[in-house]
A = this chain, B = another copy of it.
Amino acid sequence: MSERALVVLSGGQDSTTCLFWAIERYGKDDVSSITFDYGQRHRIELDCASKIADCAGVPNVQVPIDTFTALGGNALTDDIEVDDGTADANSLPNTFVPGRNLVFMTFAAAYAWQNDIKHLVTGVAQTDYSGYPDCRDETIKSLQQTLRLGMETDVEIHTPLMHLSKKETVQLAASLGAIDAMALTHTCYKGERPPCGRCAACEIRAKGFAEAGIADPLVSQ
């Protein structure tokens, strides 16, 4: 298996940073990206992912997953008002799609298996995580083992942002020359462009840029 890498690119700030991280580590010619069309309400994410990959000069394959919409019941695919989870500290936010990252990574691993790619890169982080248990380091390590056993492969899952704060993620993006590309990303839970600036996702992003002392080109453009 070659030293090629596949980045799971959502069109957001974190996965875009990971794309530039992978390009620096493996070289542009050995990096590609995969984006899942899982019925997300904010279809703009798919367009963002495509433009970000173009900007970075790597291929982007978009793969459908119709299953989450069929299962329903969450605010990312259904017409349900976003609840950021702050109302009840003991419950998961209603943006939680059970198993979403597990499914994304399993399909990414299947694509990698078919295309002789060893390295998977994902922008999950547990530092600032919004209550999503499938973004934690322990979960990803267990998933890597499951994928290795289930596909007889030595796939490696890389999570360069796992233990970074949003401030540190912005600093990493700056060190990788990825700030300009941030103008192409999408973060807002409300799907607004320019971003609403008030939802939990916008607030976390703004705080990261502010603490890093770097202007967010998405806001200032």
Residues of chain A touching chain B, judged by Cβ–Cβ distance below 8 Å, are 63-68, 70-71, 73, 92, 97-99, 101-103, 106-107, 109-111, 113-114, 133-134, 136, 138-139, 142-143, 145-147, 149-152
Contact = CB atoms under 8 A, between A and B. Distances in A.
The secondary structure that dominates the A interface is: helix
B107 A67 contact: yes
Given A106-B99, A150-B139, A151-B134, A67 B71 contact: no
Contacts of A67: 63-67, 107
A66 B67 CA distance: 8
A71 B149 CA distance: 20
Given A142-B142, A149-B139, A107 B71 contact: yes
Contacts of A64: 66-67, 70
Given A98-B109, A107-B103, A114 B152 contact: no
B99 A150 contact: yes
A110 B71 contact: yes
